[in-house]
Homo-oligomer: A and B are copies of this chain.
């Protein structure tokens, strides 16, 4: 199973008045890691929307928040995709804080469906994207 990681710094924009990262913003970090996983395989979502004309729609997110991230933290977001039929990918994702303790901050499972960029109906993932996954 392949694993991919991406880093993100916590800026003011990510935090809320509780002094920690706003809960919805973890989903932004998760999405950046998935996008960069795809880019690392040689694909951009802009390109795929044109040829072969597909988008990746998030159908389900299940996330547990273990510890809060704070301003200036450097985060490592992991991304471990698994095929679930021809039209669905399930990503296991984790968010860790960088540093000596490397604490686990959040754990998520994200279900993504490949859809036609005009029809919005399920389509098979392009073979080049899912090559080597199982």
Partner of A31, one of B23, B28, B45, B72: B23
What is the bound-complex CA distance between A65 and B19, given in angstroms?
Answer: 21
Query: Other CB < 8 Å A-B pairs besides A11-B28, A60-B63, 13 of them?
Result: A11-B31, A11-B35, A12-B18, A12-B31, A16-B17, A17-B70, A17-B71, A23-B31, A24-B25, A24-B27, A24-B31, A57-B65, A60-B62
Query: Given the interface contacts A24-B27, A24-B31, A25-B24, does A59 sit within 8 Å of B64 by beta carbon?
Result: yes
Size class of the contact patch on chain A:
35 or more
Interface residues of A in 1-41 (CB under 8 A from B): 9, 11-13, 15-20, 22-25, 27-28, 31-32, 35
Q: Dominant SS at the A interface?
A: mixed
What is the bound-complex CA distance between A57 and B32, given in angstroms?
Answer: 24
Q: Are A65 and B70 in contact (CB under 8 A)?
A: no
What is the bound-complex CA distance between A45 and B18, given in angstroms?
Answer: 10
